[in-house]
Structure 1
Amino acid sequence: MDRVSIVHENFLSRVAAQDFPEISGEHDALPQGVALDVFRSQVLSRALDIESRAMQKRGEGFYTIGSSGHEGMAALGQVLRVDDIAFLHYRDAAFQIARAAKAGQAGMMRDMLLSFACASGDPTSGGRHKVLGSRSLMIPPQTSTIASHLPKAVGAAHGIGLARRNRPEHAVLPPDSIAMCSFGDASLNHSTAQGALNAVGWTCVQGIPLPLLFVCEDNGIGISTKTPTGWVKASVSARPGLRYFEADGRDVFAAMVVAEEAAQWVRTHRKPAFLHLKTVRLYGHAGPDVVTSYLPKSEVEAEEAHDPLLYTAAWLVRSGAASPDEVRDIHQGALGDVAEAAREMADVPRLRTADEVMASLIPPKRICASTNGPDVARRREVFGSDAAQLDQPQPMSRLINWALHDILLSHDETLLMGEDVGRKGGNYGVTQKLHSRFGPARVIDTLLDETSILGLAIGLAHNGFIPMPEIQFLAYLHNAEDQVRGEAATLPFFSNGQWTNPMVIRISALGYQKGFGGHFHNDNSIAVLRDIPGVIIACPSSGDEAAKMLRECVRLAREEQRVVVFLEPIALYPMRDLLEPGDGKWMRHYPAPDERIALDTVGVHGDGADLAIVSYANGHYLSRQAQHDLEALGIAARVIDLRWIAPLPHAALLDAIGDRPVLIVDECRRTGGQAEALMALMAENGITSAARLTAEDSFIATGKAYGATLPSREGIVAAAQGILRQ
């Protein structure tokens, strides 16, 4: 017999014999009706697990990681309020079922079966994945999370507190609500989990409200690797700023007592807590997993003897809430109901085409209150001494700073966060004065952890804020890129557009820093960002366009709920001159607050008919220099600034190129750089006279050799001449 059948038969025989595990008596006052409701949630979760494996064998289901052994999470579903946002471990079906029952929602059984079947009618993901989640139950969907959801849970909890003082237009979380985040004991060891726990303590000891309940479901094993005995308690119980609770999650009613205490402590004190629940894992990790291939049979049987359903049945029988026969009937009835409903799944519609699958990559637009710019008097007050300089040409860093001023003035829900963005004034002074002018609640100095910074932003966006997290250098993003790829960008996709986390991620990026910092500060690869579906990437080349594009990025986040990455070329922050020292030709005037540059546009400089040079950021700056040099050689070039890296402005770019030969100048590497996509675009549109000048496939050196692997002004001139000689 397989382990599923063994556990099933053990339950039936032990209930009939009233051979129950020992249970405590401290929860005897629980109303019998509530107890029966909790049991029904548990057995429905178990029945769905069993049926998911049967569906897979029939070719009608596609995912079998289940919740068996973790049915004690029904305690949290019963105890927490329905409007407490819950970021769930993938073994928490019992939580969602119990919460639905508490909310008076019928149909959860069918909804979950539709998810198992990847049916297009699945109300959570629309058939894209087997996920837990529900908009009405305040459960954002999660896929196979290995701790990646903890940082955004921290952000959501922080957002509840921030919204008490500054409630966003699209806020959804009540001021007295809490956030809950559950995960397994193996996930606790992941660096992402450790970073989130550290961020919680770091925040809490400063007296900042953070109503967050972590729930660690400790079944003692991660796939086949055991958790050392006592490890969870030893590693967490003494953490600063985090209140520790523990309970036996196998005994759901005992767990309810402790869960109620923990949740009430978080709700009352507005501080974080950690609930350590002892659970068991039944059936192994997933369908193909043969647990006895890596664990002794005796250990497997010992775990199965602690089936949580037996603990619940023991209380029901002892309290007189149900007889053994009634317990059996409830259990068998759930199995029958689920099996009958599952038979309908064979012919349900499923996603078939690429368009159907991709329909939720781009989130839906939403209606926002109109804004006509900041009040003139308030704006002049906030700008202070800077107001007298607004009509003077400035470098890019100053113009981005002023754009951030206007954005914060125009939209109260916008926030800045990152390491050093506040008192210090940010990377290269780009955010200077904002902290003193808008306060620490809107310009947030964070700890040094990029994962926590991005997680904070994602969680804040869940409650209607428009966060603008800053990553100090592009190379630092790689510590945390999964928060963009695996969390921010996938949420609309896996929720069928019901959940979004709009934001504008500002990153000081790219190379040409004249010998400073090597590849840690001169990272010239954006491949990891270009590869993420649905993410918008903006990269300005001049200060005035940076201001206008940043405003458009905020509009895209605010009104169209997009995840936007705004790459700020560091080397151009202070740039003043173009051709000669002191010419001041790269400084710009600050554009009026209502001016923006739309997505899908390019910048065009010159009407030269001999050649089109396509570039962006530092490459665009160098191309403008080369344009001048080429003109002296009798070559008339048009320089085209991409502006938008993703999605590429195909139509506008091809229109600007016309019938000219094309030179692509890409400061990123030859392999994986933007030039690859641009060369493909040229070929697909019949432009055969095209060449590329890129950076070498190398890291960037420190010292005078910083530019040796990068395109240069002289190199662009030579490449242009070469393509015209062909």
Structure 2
Amino acid sequence: MDRAEIVHQNFLDHAVKGNLPEGAAPSGRLSPDLAVSIYRAQVLSRALDRTSRAMQKAGQGFYTIGSSGHEGMAAVARALRPTDMAFLHYRDAAFQIARADQVPGQNIAWDMLLSFACSREDPTSGGRHKVLGSKALMIPPQTSTIASHLPKAVGAAYSIGAARRHDPEHRVLPQDGLVMCSFGDASANHSTAQGAINTACWASVQSTPLPLLFVCEDNGIGISTKTPKGWIEASMSHRPGMRYFQADGLNIHDTYEVACEAAKYVREQRKPALLHVRTVRLYGHAGADVPTTYLSKAEVEADEANDPLLHSVRLLSQAGTLSRQEAAQIYTDTCARVERIRSEAVTRPHLETATDVSASLIPPARTCRSGNGPSPEARAEVFGSDLRAQSEPQPMSRLINWALTDLMLEHGELVAMGEDVGRKGGVYGVTQKLQQRFGPDRVIDTLLDEQSILGLAIGMGHNGFVPIPEIQFLAYLHNAEDQIRGEAATLPFFSNGQFANPMVLRIAGLGYQKGFGGHFHNDNSLAVLRDIPGIVIACPSDGAEAAMMLREAVRLAREEQRVVVFIEPIALYPMRDLHEAKDGAWMRSYPSPDQRIALGDVGVNGEGTDLAIVTYGNGRYLSTQAQAELHNQGINARVIDLRWLAPLPKDALLAATKECSRILIVDECRTTGSQSEGLMAMFHEAGTSQLARVVAEDCFIPTGPAYAATLPSKDSIVAAALRLIGEDQ
């Protein structure tokens, strides 16, 4: 007999016979009606766990990480408001069920069984995953998270205070609300959890409003690895800026009482707290897990004897609210009801085609207030003397700064954040004066933690803001890439488009920095971004294009709720000259605020038909130099600037190259994993026969004079072009 069946039989036997675990007597503010409601939520959670395992055995269900042992979270749910956004641990079915009791019109058992069955009618994910989550219940869906949801919970909590100062058009969280985030004791050790908790404490110590309730559900084990006894209390109870509460999750009276106290503290003090809830884990980690392979039978049976449902039966009986027989009858009736619902849920249709599955990758567009751009009077006041310089050619860094200024002036929901973006104005001065112009509430100097920077952005996006986070260098993204891959980009997909976290992520990157910094500051790889479905990747090559593309990026985030990654080539920030010193040929005048470059529009420079050079970023700069030299040798080439790296502008590229029989791809990223691979495949499939590429070596970039040795150059581009021309002669 498996452990789930043993726990089931134990409950039926012990509940009726009165062989119940010992514990504290019922006390506190939990009313009889509410106690029964919590118990019913606990029982439904248990019944669903049992049914999910039966469904998997029958080939009707596909996910069995259950909530058994964690049913005390139902009491935490009832201590909060249903408008308090909750980012849930995957064992929190009882929380979601109890919250559904607070919101009219819910059919939670049916909804969750549709999710177990991966039916396309599942109201949360549309059949894409078994997830806890609900738009109506203010629970953004999470997959099997290992603490990756904590940074965005910090951001969402921060957004509540920020919205009091600058109320965004699409705000969803009440201004007196709080954010709740739950996780397991094993996940508490993850660097992402530690970073998020540290960030919350860091902000709290500085008196930043942060109404956030962390809930650590401590069952003492992570799959098979035990958590040292007392570890959570020892490591969490004395964090500066964060209040610690402890509750017995086996006792619904104690859990409810302490959760109410914790919520009251967070809501009134606008400070973070951690609620440490003692639980047990029943059945093992998941369906295929056999706990007796790494725990003694005595340890497993000791947890089973502490079944929280048996504790609830004892408490209800002692309070005179329900007899043991009545409590047992609720259990058997609920199990039977779940089985009846299951028989119908498993007949509901599933997703079938790739089009069906991918339909929610891109979130739906939303209606936004239209504007006519910032007024001349507002621009004059904000820009001051910079306004006169806008008709004169300028380098890219300054034009991006002016574009950010205009955008933030027009759209009050735009918020920039990152390390050094405020008072310092960014490592390269791109965000200079922005904090003076818009204040520290909208240009936020963060602590040094990329996970927290992106989590802040994701969380603020949940509450109607349009964040513009900055990662100082492309290589630093690797410290936090899962915040994009596993969180921001997947949210529309797993919520069937019901939730989105729009943003424009600015990253200074790529190579050619004349010996500075080595591979940590000259990272010539975008591979970590290229394979993330649904995101937009932009890379401008001159200042005017950067300004116009940034405006489109903000439009995409603001109106279409997209996640846009905006790669800014550091080497081109200060670039002034093109062919010779002091020619000023790479500077541009600032385009008027109403000008933008639409997603998918490529740049075509020149009308030559002998050769098309397809490139982007620094490659366009070098290719333009090579274009002039090739012209001197009688070869007329055109340079095509990709601008948008994802989604790849296939139709525009084919149209721009159709008059050219030879195509040379210039890509400063590495031979392996670069954009050139996809471009080569695309042009080959389109029938182009004369095709070549110039790419970087599969090597890191060194510091010092050899900084560009592994990268494409003007000379290597010219040489490759001559070879390609020569092959056809």
TM-score normalised to structure 1 length: 0.99
Give the structure 1 partner of residue 216 of structure 2: 216
Q: Which one is further off, 126-135 or 655-664? A: 655-664
Return the letter of the residue paired with 2:508: S
Matches within 5 A, 1:479-490: 479-490=479-490
Q: 1:17 Cα deviation (Å)? A: 1.8
Structure 1 regions of 5+ residues with no counterpart? none
Matches within 5 A, 1:76-87: 76-87=76-87
Return the letter of the residue paired with 2:686: N
CA distance in 2, matches of 1:214, 1:285: 22
CA distance in 1, matches of 2:123, 2:616: 42
Give the structure 1 partner of residue 517 of structure 2: 517
Q: Is the 8 A contact 2:603 2:641 kept in 1?
A: yes
- Listed one character per residue, the Cα deviations across residues 25-57 of structure 1 (whole Å, up to 9, x for unaligned) are 362553211111110000000000000000000
Give the structure 2 partner of residue 709 of structure 1: 710
- Listed one character per residue, the Cα deviations across residues 467-502 of structure 1 (whole Å, up to 9, x for unaligned) are 000000000000000000000000000000000000
CA distance in 2, matches of 1:12, 1:362: 48
CA distance in 2, matches of 1:226, 1:530: 38
CA distance in 2, matches of 1:715, 1:405: 39
CA distance in 1, matches of 2:560, 2:710: 39
Give the structure 2 partner of residue 407 of structure 1: 407
Give the structure 1 partner of residue 345 of structure 2: 345
Give the structure 2 partner of residue 682 of structure 1: 683
Give the structure 2 partner of residue 385 of structure 1: 385
Q: Is the 8 A contact 2:415 2:443 kept in 1?
A: yes
List structure 1 segments (4+ residues) > 6 angstroms apart after TM superposition.
none
Q: 1:292 Cα deviation (Å)? A: 0.3
**Number of residue-to-residue matches in the alignment:** 726
Q: 1:22 Cα deviation (Å)? A: 2.4
Give the structure 2 partner of residue 37 of structure 1: 37
Give the structure 2 partner of residue 368 of structure 1: 368
Q: Which one is further off, 531-540 or 96-105? A: 96-105
CA distance in 1, matches of 2:36, 2:76: 15
Alignment partner of 2:428: what SS?
A: helix
Q: Is the 8 A contact 2:26 2:319 kept in 1?
A: no
Q: Is the 8 A contact 1:72 1:279 kept in 2?
A: yes
Alignment partner of 1:265: what SS?
A: helix
CA distance in 2, matches of 1:303, 1:594: 65
CA distance in 2, matches of 1:85, 1:427: 35
Alignment partner of 2:245: what SS?
A: strand
Q: Is the 8 A contact 2:424 2:432 kept in 1?
A: yes
Give the structure 1 partner of residue 579 of structure 2: 579
Does residue 1:424 correspond to 2:424, yes or no? yes
Return the letter of the residue paired with 2:625: Q
- Listed one character per residue, the Cα deviations across residues 686-708 of structure 1 (whole Å, up to 9, x for unaligned) are 00111011000000010000000
Return the letter of the residue paired with 1:520: F
Q: Which one is further off, 12-21 or 659-668? A: 12-21
CA distance in 1, matches of 2:459, 2:207: 19
Q: 1:256 Cα deviation (Å)? A: 0.3
CA distance in 1, matches of 2:343, 2:26: 42
Q: Is the 8 A contact 1:471 1:508 kept in 2?
A: yes
Q: Is the 8 A contact 2:35 2:252 kept in 1?
A: no
Q: 1:375 Cα deviation (Å)? A: 1.8
Give the structure 2 partner of residue 721 of structure 1: 722
Alignment partner of 1:469: what SS?
A: strand
CA distance in 2, matches of 1:333, 1:524: 62
Return the letter of the residue paired with 1:680: A
Matches within 5 A, 1:467-546: 467-546=467-546
Matches within 5 A, 1:643-682: 643-660=643-660, 661-682=662-683
Matches within 5 A, 1:58-457: 58-457=58-457
CA distance in 2, matches of 1:92, 1:28: 24
CA distance in 1, matches of 2:703, 2:29: 70
Alignment partner of 2:201: what SS?
A: helix
CA distance in 1, matches of 2:590, 2:26: 68
Alignment partner of 1:347: what SS?
A: coil
Q: Is the 8 A contact 1:86 1:181 kept in 2?
A: yes
Q: Which one is further off, 653-662 or 136-145? A: 653-662
Give the structure 2 partner of residue 13 of structure 1: 13
Q: 1:319 Cα deviation (Å)? A: 1.3
CA distance in 1, matches of 2:477, 2:324: 57
Alignment partner of 1:556: what SS?
A: helix
- Listed one character per residue, the Cα deviations across residues 492-536 of structure 1 (whole Å, up to 9, x for unaligned) are 000000000000000001000000000000000000100100000
Alignment partner of 2:588: what SS?
A: coil
Superposed CA RMSD in Å reads: 0.7
Matches within 5 A, 1:611-650: 611-650=611-650
Give the structure 2 partner of residue 4 of structure 1: 4
Return the letter of the residue paired with 2:577: D
CA distance in 2, matches of 1:55, 1:507: 46
Alignment partner of 1:513: what SS?
A: coil
Return the letter of the residue paired with 2:641: D
CA distance in 2, matches of 1:374, 1:488: 30
TM-score normalised to structure 2 length: 0.99
Q: 1:14 Cα deviation (Å)? A: 1.2
Q: 1:379 Cα deviation (Å)? A: 1.1
Return the letter of the residue paired with 1:117: A
Do the aligned partners of residues 476 and 667 (structure 1) sit closer, same or farther apart at CA in structure 2, a change above 3 Å counting?
Answer: same
Return the letter of the residue paired with 1:178: L
Q: Is the 8 A contact 1:119 1:351 kept in 2?
A: yes
Return the letter of the residue paired with 1:139: I
Alignment partner of 1:428: what SS?
A: coil
Q: 1:76 Cα deviation (Å)? A: 1.3
Q: Is the 8 A contact 1:360 1:493 kept in 2?
A: yes
Give the structure 1 partner of residue 607 of structure 2: 607
Do the aligned partners of residues 28 and 210 (structure 1) sit closer, same or farther apart at CA in structure 2, a change above 3 Å counting?
Answer: closer
CA distance in 2, matches of 1:263, 1:21: 29
Q: Is the 8 A contact 2:30 2:256 kept in 1?
A: no
Q: 1:23 Cα deviation (Å)? A: 3.0
Q: Is the 8 A contact 1:60 1:345 kept in 2?
A: no
Do the aligned partners of residues 706 and 119 (structure 1) sit closer, same or farther apart at CA in structure 2, a change above 3 Å counting?
Answer: same
Do the aligned partners of residues 315 and 106 (structure 1) sit closer, same or farther apart at CA in structure 2, a change above 3 Å counting?
Answer: same
- Listed one character per residue, the Cα deviations across residues 423-458 of structure 1 (whole Å, up to 9, x for unaligned) are 000120000000111000000000000000000000
CA distance in 2, matches of 1:283, 1:667: 52
Alignment partner of 2:706: what SS?
A: helix
CA distance in 1, matches of 2:28, 2:204: 36
CA distance in 1, matches of 2:398, 2:579: 21
Alignment partner of 2:584: what SS?
A: coil
Do the aligned partners of residues 204 and 686 (structure 1) sit closer, same or farther apart at CA in structure 2, a change above 3 Å counting?
Answer: same
Give the structure 1 partner of residue 48 of structure 2: 48
Q: Is the 8 A contact 1:28 1:319 kept in 2?
A: no
Q: 1:148 Cα deviation (Å)? A: 0.1
CA distance in 2, matches of 1:20, 1:484: 47
Alignment partner of 1:429: what SS?
A: coil
CA distance in 1, matches of 2:245, 2:31: 24
Q: Is the 8 A contact 1:427 1:508 kept in 2?
A: no
Alignment partner of 1:505: what SS?
A: strand
Structure 2 regions of 5+ residues with no counterpart? none
Alignment partner of 2:591: what SS?
A: coil
Give the structure 2 partner of residue 547 of structure 1: 547
CA distance in 2, matches of 1:31, 1:562: 45
Q: Is the 8 A contact 2:363 2:500 kept in 1?
A: yes
CA distance in 1, matches of 2:30, 2:105: 22
Q: Is the 8 A contact 1:38 1:98 kept in 2?
A: yes
